[in-house]
Amino acid sequence: MPAFPDNLKPATDGASILHKERLGSHLPVQELARHLFDRTDFLSRQERILKIVGNEPLFRKDRQLNLSRPERYHLGLARAKLLRRLSVKHSWTRDDDEMAVYLVDDVSPYMLQMSMFVTTVREQGDEAQRAYWLPKIEKWEIIGAYAQTELGHGSNVRGLELQARWDPESKGFVLNSPTLTASKWWNGSMGRTANHAIVVAQLYLPELSTSDGSTQYKSYGPHPFMVQIRDMKTHQPLEGIVVGDIGPKYGYAPMDNGYMLFNNHHIPHSAMLARYNKVDQATGRYQKAGNPAVVYGTLTAIRANIVMHARLVLARAVTVAVRYTAVRHQFRDRDGDDKGPELPVLDYPTVQIRILPLLASAFALHYTGEAMHDLYRRTRAKVESGDFTKLAELHSTSSGLKSLCTEIAADGIETCRRALGGHGFGGGSGLIQLNNDYVSKPTVEGDNWMITQQTASYLIKQMQAAATGKGAAKSSLEEACREHLLHRHAFAPLDVLHSDTDVVEAFRRRALDMAYKAYRARVVEKKAWNSLLVQLHKLSRAFSQSLLVGSFYDALACNDNMSPGLREIMWRLFRLFALSTMDAAAREFSTARAVADHDLDLLPGRVQALMTEIRPHAVNLVDAWSIPDFLLDSALGRYDGRVYEDLFNRAHRLNPLNEVTFNPDYSTAEIVMGRKGEGIDKIVAKL
Amino acid sequence: MPAFPDNLKPATDGASILHKERLGSHLPVQELARHLFDRTDFLSRQERILKIVGNEPLFRKDRQLNLSRPERYHLGLARAKLLRRLSVKHSWTRDDDEMAVYLVDDVSPYMLQMSMFVTTVREQGDEAQRAYWLPKIEKWEIIGAYAQTELGHGSNVRGLELQARWDPESKGFVLNSPTLTASKWWNGSMGRTANHAIVVAQLYLPELSTSDGSTQYKSYGPHPFMVQIRDMKTHQPLEGIVVGDIGPKYGYAPMDNGYMLFNNHHIPHSAMLARYNKVDQATGRYQKAGNPAVVYGTLTAIRANIVMHARLVLARAVTVAVRYTAVRHQFRDRDGDDKGPELPVLDYPTVQIRILPLLASAFALHYTGEAMHDLYRRTRAKVESGDFTKLAELHSTSSGLKSLCTEIAADGIETCRRALGGHGFGGGSGLIQLNNDYVSKPTVEGDNWMITQQTASYLIKQMQAAATGKGAAKSSLEEACREHLLHRHAFAPLDVLHSDTDVVEAFRRRALDMAYKAYRARVVEKKAWNSLLVQLHKLSRAFSQSLLVGSFYDALACNDNMSPGLREIMWRLFRLFALSTMDAAAREFSTARAVADHDLDLLPGRVQALMTEIRPHAVNLVDAWSIPDFLLDSALGRYDGRVYEDLFNRAHRLNPLNEVTFNPDYSTAEIVMGRKGEGIDKIVAKL
């Protein structure tokens, strides 16, 4: 009897189906994979690290979805430690470390150490502070967190309530939380793991009141301080500090996001990171020592990474969706033979329209992320040499792109998951944790609706400069705005159905049209900023879309060494991305006189035709993204197509709930057969 | 020191903020609550049941998010049993039972018993079967599941693989799973709880082959069988049955969705539910005994319930979003005083545009659900008396509405969650489990993309009948199609900015325009059905939106006893729902010549103006939905506005992770301070 299911085969042989899909497409998978990843050694690194992490029992995920949140933190810390030890053992570089975290696919309680913690010390610490702290951090003698956001303030950093008052007697600072909302909140690694933190607090310095001669404190705004928060031996919070984990969240189970309150806690003068601003220890006076605008550069680099991460996340969801919907067969053709075979659900346009534009989007995000990194590197060099002119453009551009790209990825995961039908709701999808973790991204590092103001504001300024400026334009964008103003009354519709350059130009024209209208509303008609927020959000979105389309186009147009077979399919993906994006906002293209209504009417048909052309290559296209099964952890998306065997195996052999027999009779409180109420009492005690 | 945080107050006093919000609106909360719920005694029932379930420790949720999935099933079963015992003790009606489940807000492993299990016996069992089984079910002597979907087939019921072969010797059936994909899959309550199940299998009857005289089996399609699956004493699976729980899912943690395989398992002749079809026990011949179309009636009733459920789910998410964004203050007015107060985030149009149209949608869903129930009751009476003419309309209408309404609610929860900013990702939102559970709804009871074909197909048939029919129209929809065909070349744009009836008419005209084009493509141009699927999906969506708008309008226009103050705000909500929906698909209204482009350009401004008018009443409007704090389980959405106190309390006092001190040093494998590796070994063993 136990052998009975072992001998059954699925009616649908996923393995041979995917084999045929791969043979049926001429798309050169290896060439595309190299094209995507060769610049950064990504693939060889992935292979090398996978061999190491793939063999560790601690990184197994077979039954991980059965763990509780406290268990997930325990496990997360154990994994973070093991990764650290492996890193030392194998002399991993920073890129290797990041690859290992990516493959293990578990948020690490050590995450802040080599990101915001070390970066802030490096960028904002003065020479002495860097010399003192950086070796300790790099040797992991201390574990750090970054404590900026508070219970009452996230986006509005200037509104932070935690106070750092200068104490002339001790020549140091006193950290104090005047209210409950001043509690630090959300700060990763701080809840249970870190023993140090960069703490951002309002700096208050004493001043002699001119009126009555008493001492009053004046605020100088938020500043960063390096603070020890726990005892290095006992790991207990230091006196005057209340710190803990904020509890379960939507995702990020292994991360100990924390809260922290200070009760007149003294820290030394050296705690304040003093590269750009400092307090003179002798006089207690505030001194500016440089331009802190450089920190926006860091934020921008983080945002370029966010876009590059988004494209891998999206590629992962699309990989699962494409492979499973190729294997999954459901319904015969309604117009076909009554005895005909069931169709792969990926053949249905209603499935294609959800998955294939997202497949194309992954490439759009890829080329845009690459372009952002390029721009960052170029701008960064200028900033280091004291030239800040490009910074505003880069920062504002990155805001809109962060907003749009994380939204595409977050919504894309869920769209893919729903396209999987019933099995998409099951643990075998491999998309549950991905979804739960990733939906944080539209909020962190700048709320997606809020930060689009930066992009819009920048565009309005450019349009204003173009409208009023004389002499040479100060930027290529201002130049484009001038052109737009010059010709906007005489635009002829572009031929987006036949010309790829016209597609790029149409996106640009629509964005500039919206920029012009926003400029009119704000600058000429002087409307209240807040009354324009929805319009500004749409403007940022349109501009960011034009950047995505432009980057995609440039990457293909400038590439000389792609094989013709690959090139042809890549251009189709470009068109699918651009035209499906255009179709979703068609009216804006019409209003901007960028595309004729007649052409817009034809977009849905054109999109469907493109999907039909791309469909035969879908499996090979996702293969090129090279996401290993170890990372996918998906019965539905596994490379070999053995979907049903894996789903059944997870249910029948790996599910701990099936090891217990329950008592279903409602009249007794006994839950597990023969064990009275003992088990449930323990669970109720946890409520 | 421990007392320090206890003495802190939040800088933002949520309690007084919500108090002022409530005083500042003239909206009569009690009147609106009665208007929404009086027809069904909902509010008095809620109050009565809440008093009972609110006091049971087993229903506490303070730390529930910390439980593992296996613990959640244990707890779910314990809760289901307690609810059953309470039901007996207090002589609850079916409506009372449902209210209790709604308030406890945990999917019950007993869920199928009084829904699909009993309903199928009642509707498809013959008289003897009903007399035998119904008392057993109603006394809970047996616990049931409904086993239809399989690993390989969900939507396509005809493709089910499980076989029920007639065995002439034993005069019974033999259940056999020929493949792995024939395994029953997803069936609720079956994995660990049920001892019986309605099993849907392909009926095979032996026939004498005319060619060689041998016996061959012929398929008669899927039929339902009542099958005992576990021993009534030991609760072990019966011989020949392999059954278990399929494992962790996106949501539905306490539900034991199951799998089940049969190895030539014999069941008696009486197992086949025989109201409409049966197999003659003596001859083994198939006999039709009635019209099974009646089962579509059940499906339709389920869908009406889904819409009514969707509106409460949406109201719950909107309640949290409105209350929290009223309490949450962030940023000063950019155009205002530098020392001015921070603004409630609900004052920002970019927050309003995400929340307030969803608030209006909850009402649209409410009136539509009511209308569906009315139509169902009227149609049901006709069906019982043998008249099936209305059934097709009801069924096809309910398909499109189920699709649209569950999408609005599922996407709406996530939109609200993101509008909460950072705290929306935390456990205090109260939206985590709601989100995880509810995203199953776009897939179950008919996949949202698939079932829209039914609505579109029906509309095409109506348009075809109108185009070709003579004499009196057979339905009001056909009549409307005729009118449309007659006037479609001479439509003047409607005045949607000034006339509410024109708004309703514009939605209708746009839907009929799309129906006409679908009819042309399919019937006249004879395009392949599958090539039209995206277009048909859009058609169903447009038609369903016109039903929502129409129901909302009718409910207000036909109501004579609403106070003027309430009526005024309800009409604004109607317009906000209709015009924001119209704005999102503006081009379709232009193409259909329903609304002039100039008016469409004005929609965003009009929507924003409506939101400004509704904003002062937002808190009172969500109060009217009467969702108790016990159900909300939300720090952000609590009635008294004490958001920050509650968030801090959950983190600081209710978080089990804070009871443990960890060892952060990577060089040691010790996780919990002083406990070596013991704890983690147990966790790794669970991987």
Q: Say what the pLDDT of residue A299 is.
A: 74
Mean local confidence (pLDDT), A122-143 = 96
Measure the CA–CA gap between A485 and A481, rounded to whole angstroms: 6
Amino acid at residue number B424: G
Q: Say what the pLDDT of residue B293 is.
A: 60
- B150 noted as active-site residue: no
CATH architecture of A142-292: Beta Barrel (2.40)
Mean pLDDT (chain A, rounded):
94
Q: Which residues of B touch A5 (CB under 8 A)?
A: 180, 183, 242, 261
ipTM score over 0.90, yes or no:
yes
Asked whether residue B140 carries a pLDDT value surpassing 90, the answer given is yes
Measure the CA–CA gap between B450 and A448, rounded to whole angstroms: 32
HSE of A454 in the Cβ direction (CA atoms, 13 Å)?
21
Q: In this structure, how many other beta carbons lie within 10 angstroms of the beta carbon of residue B128? A: 10
Q: Is B221 on the interface with A (CB under 8 A)?
A: no
The CA-atom distances, in angstroms, between A13 and each of A464, A643, B157 are: 62, 9, 20
Measure the CA–CA gap between B323 and B315, rounded to whole angstroms: 12
Q: Say what the pLDDT of residue B37 is.
A: 96
Q: Which of A375-379, A495-499, B103-107, B188-192 shows the lowest mean pLDDT across its residues?
A: A375-379
Amino acid at residue number B239: E
Q: Say what the pLDDT of residue A291 is.
A: 65
Q: Is B674 on the interface with A (CB under 8 A)?
A: no
Q: A440: Cβ–Cβ under 8 A, 6 or more apart, which residues?
A: A250, A251, A252, B425
Distance of CA B630 to the CA centre of its chain: 21
Q: Say what the pLDDT of residue A304 is.
A: 85
Q: Say what the pLDDT of residue B678 is.
A: 73
The CA-atom distances, in angstroms, between A47 and each of A35, A52, A103 are: 17, 9, 10
Measure the CA–CA gap between B181 and A10, rounded to whole angstroms: 5
Q: Say what the pLDDT of residue A213 is.
A: 77
Task: Using pLDDT thresholds of 50, 70 and 90, give the confidence band for residue B475.
Answer: confident
Q: Do B683 and A74 touch (CB under 8 A)?
A: yes
Q: Is A552 on the interface with B (CB under 8 A)?
A: no
Q: Do A68 and B68 touch (CB under 8 A)?
A: yes
Asked whether residue A412 carries a pLDDT value surpassing 90, the answer given is yes
Q: Say what the pLDDT of residue B212 is.
A: 79
Measure the CA–CA gap between B43 and A468, rounded to whole angstroms: 63
Distance of CA A504 to the CA centre of its chain: 26
Task: Using pLDDT thresholds of 50, 70 and 90, give the confidence band for residue B388.
Answer: low
- A420-455 pLDDT, tens digit per residue, is 999 999 999 999 999 999 999 999 988 999 999 999
Q: In this structure, how many other beta carbons lie within 10 angstroms of the beta carbon of residue A181? A: 25
DSSP 8-state assignment for residue B141: S
Q: Say what the pLDDT of residue A681 is.
A: 87
DSSP 8-state assignment for residue B449: T
Instruction: Return the SS3 of B241.
Output: strand
Measure the CA–CA gap between A443 and A440, rounded to whole angstroms: 6
Mean local confidence (pLDDT), A76-80 = 97
| B121, B153 Cβ separation under 8 angstroms | no
- Give A3 or B256, the one with higher predicted confidence: B256
Residue whose C-alpha is closest to residue A424's, from B407, B180, B244, B250? B250
Task: Using pLDDT thresholds of 50, 70 and 90, give the confidence band for residue B1.
Answer: very low
A181 backbone dihedrals φ, ψ, rounded to 5°: -70, -10
Q: For chain B, give every domain's residue range.
A: 127-288, 660-687
Torsion from C-alpha of B26, B29, B32, B34, nearest 10 degrees: -150
Measure the CA–CA gap between A594 and B382, rounded to whole angstroms: 55
Distance from CA of A657 to the nearest CA of B (A): 6
Q: Is B66 on the interface with A (CB under 8 A)?
A: yes
Mean local confidence (pLDDT), A488-509 = 97
Residue whose C-alpha is closest to residue B498's, from B575, B385, B390? B575
Minimal Cβ distance to B529: which of A252, A335, A449: A335
- Of B393, B414, B445, B479, the active-site residue reads B445
Measure the CA–CA gap between A304 and A406, rounded to whole angstroms: 11
- DSSP code per residue over B148-203: --BSS-SS-GGG---EEEEETTTTEEEEE--SSTTSEEEETTTTTT-SEEEEEEEE
Asked whether residue A294 carries a pLDDT value surpassing 70, the answer given is no
Task: Using pLDDT thresholds of 50, 70 and 90, give the confidence band for residue A1.
Answer: very low
Distance from CA of A33 to the nearest CA of B (A): 32
Q: Do A687 and B12 touch (CB under 8 A)?
A: no
B419: tokens are 């509008």
**SS3 breakdown of chain B: % helix, strand, coil, rounded to 5?**
55, 10, 30
Q: How many residue pairs bridge chain A and chain B with CB atoms within 8 Å of each other?
A: 460
Q: Which of A121-125, A193-197, B195-199 shows the lowest mean pLDDT across its residues?
A: A121-125
Q: Say what the pLDDT of residue B373 is.
A: 87
Round to the nearest angstrom and report the end-to-end CA distance of chain A: 40
- DSSP code per residue over B264-276: SEEEEGGGB--SS
Chain B residue with the nearest C-alpha to that of A444: B422
Distance from CA of A291 to the nearest CA of B (A): 23
Q: Say what the pLDDT of residue A335 is.
A: 92
- DSSP code per residue over A231-292: -TTT-PBPTTEEEEE---BSS-TT---EEEEESSEEEEGGGB--SSEEE-TTT--EEE-S-T
Q: Is B239 on the interface with A (CB under 8 A)?
A: yes
Mean pLDDT (chain B, rounded):
94
The H or E element containing residue B217 is: strand B215-228
Mean local confidence (pLDDT), A45-60 = 97
Residue whose C-alpha is closest to residue A103's, from A533, A623, A572, A632? A632
Q: B279: Cβ–Cβ under 8 A, 6 or more apart, which residues?
A: B166, B203, B205, B269, B272, B285, B286, B287
Measure the CA–CA gap between A109 and A87, rounded to whole angstroms: 16
Chain B residue with the nearest C-alpha to that of A57: B684
Asked whether residue B571 carries a pLDDT value surpassing 50, the answer given is yes
Asked whether residue A2 carries a pLDDT value surpassing 60, the answer given is no
Mean local confidence (pLDDT), A395-415 = 95
Asked whether residue A238 carries a pLDDT value surpassing 80, the answer given is yes
Round to the nearest angstrom and report the end-to-end CA distance of chain B: 40
Asked whether residue A50 carries a pLDDT value surpassing 60, the answer given is yes
Catalytic positions of A are 445
Mean local confidence (pLDDT), B139-161 = 95
CATH number of B127-288, picked from 1.10.287.610, 3.90.1860.10, 3.40.50.740, 2.40.110.10: 2.40.110.10
- Give B342 or A292, the one with higher predicted confidence: B342
Asked whether residue B299 carries a pLDDT value surpassing 90, the answer given is no
Minimal Cβ distance to A679: which of B74, B235, B422: B74
Q: Which residues of B touch A426 (CB under 8 A)?
A: 186, 246-247, 249-250
Q: Is A514 on the interface with B (CB under 8 A)?
A: no
Distance from CA of B72 to the nearest CA of A (A): 9
**Model confidence, pTM:** 0.97
Alpha helices (runs of H) in B450-585, residue ranges in sequence order = 452-468, 476-487, 500-519, 533-557, 564-584
Q: Do B680 and A74 touch (CB under 8 A)?
A: yes
Measure the CA–CA gap between B138 and A237, rounded to whole angstroms: 58
Q: Do A81 and B418 touch (CB under 8 A)?
A: no
Q: Say what the pLDDT of residue A296 is.
A: 60
**SS3 breakdown of chain A: % helix, strand, coil, rounded to 5?**
55, 10, 30
Instruction: Return the SS3 of A40.
Output: helix
Q: Do B194 and A601 touch (CB under 8 A)?
A: no
Q: Return the CA Rg of chain B.
A: 28
Q: Do B655 and A683 touch (CB under 8 A)?
A: no
Same fold across A142-292 and A296-622: no
Q: Do B604 and A534 touch (CB under 8 A)?
A: yes
Q: Do B11 and A666 touch (CB under 8 A)?
A: no
Asked whether residue A380 carries a pLDDT value surpassing 80, the answer given is no
Asked whether residue B295 carries a pLDDT value surpassing 70, the answer given is no
Q: Do B648 and A180 touch (CB under 8 A)?
A: yes
- DSSP code per residue over B469-486: --SS-SSHHHHHHHHHHH
Residue whose C-alpha is closest to residue A60's, from A46, A32, A79, A81? A79
Hey, which residues does A258 pair with through a beta bridge?
A187, A245
The CA-atom distances, in angstroms, between B210 and each of B167, B204, B213, B216, B220 are: 20, 17, 6, 10, 18
Measure the CA–CA gap between A422 and B151, rounded to whole angstroms: 10
Chain B residue with the nearest C-alpha to that of A2: B242
Distance from CA of B191 to the nearest CA of A (A): 8
Mutate to test the interface with B, among A86, A415, A418 (most CBs of B within 10 A): A418
Q: Is A289 on the interface with B (CB under 8 A)?
A: no
Alpha helices (runs of H) in B596-668, residue ranges in sequence order = 597-614, 618-624, 629-632, 643-653
Q: Is A331 on the interface with B (CB under 8 A)?
A: yes
A626: tokens are 């090279």
3-class DSSP string for A499-565: CHHHHHHHHHHHHHHHHHHHHHHHHHCCCCCHHHHHHHHHHHHHHHHHHHHHHHHHHHHCCCCCCHH
Residues constituting chain A: 687
Mean local confidence (pLDDT), A396-401 = 91
The CATH superfamily of A296-622 is Butyryl-CoA Dehydrogenase, subunit A, domain 3 (1.20.140.10)
Mean local confidence (pLDDT), B184-190 = 98
